[in-house]
Amino acid sequence: MARPRRIVLVRHGESMGNADDTVYEREPDHALALTEKGRRQAADTGRELRELFGEERVSVYVSPYRRTHETLQEFRLEPALARVREEPRLREQDWGNWQDRADVRLQKAYRDAYGHFFYRFAQGESGADVYDRVGGFLESLFRSFEAPDHPPNVLIVTHGLAMRLFCMRWFHWTVAEFESLANPGNGETRMLILGENGKYTLDRPFDRWK
């Protein structure tokens, strides 16, 4: 089994929805583009990733959302070194169709009180639902490691909640541990590094809710 030396998780750059939540009333969540600030964030992250990977090959998985694809484009990875696959299981937590701003803010308040893992948005998903599909993706990822020529790097371009749930599933965190952690900022990374003992460790922790 050719396990990668690094598994890098990246949250997309700032999107139109991050900058103005009224846009969800007019545009589908999956179709929201990056802002100019988001493109700069992605470009900055891309420079760091190109330096990190050097001339090594990279297996890339990207959420099907527009903002994650645009983030990946800004990375400017060498096409000959990057094998890119769109992965729907890495998508954002589904809210269900267009969103009413006042209703969303109310539901988020309910979620904060009820718990981010178990609260289910009306017509949408709970954090537990996202956990399940991220777990399904991990099973596919593990099977890919069986290829003897698997690249030494994996890059996953996704969303903040999915990043936390990926690590929860990988490191067997409890629900309470997950609930105590905050999403990374736009364009931020977390990296799982393979140690000499054959186990992966996180390069730096997630911030905790204040």
Is 70 a known active-site residue?
no
String of DSSP letters for 78-138: -TTTEEEEE-GGGSPPP--SS--HHHHHHHHHHHHHH-TTT-B-TTS-BHHHHHHHHHHHH
CATH 3.40.50.1240 fits 6-202, yes or no: yes
Segments making up each domain of the chain, as ranges: 6-202
Among 74, 92, 125, 188, the active-site one is 92
Is 92 marked active-site? Answer: yes
pTM of the model: 0.96
Q: What is the pLDDT along the chain (210 residues), one digit of tens a residue?
A: 689 999 999 999 999 999 998 898 899 999 999 999 999 999 999 999 999 999 999 999 999 999 999 999 999 999 999 999 999 999 999 987 788 888 888 888 999 999 999 999 888 999 999 999 999 999 999 999 999 999 999 999 999 999 999 999 999 999 999 999 999 999 999 999 999 999 999 999 999 986
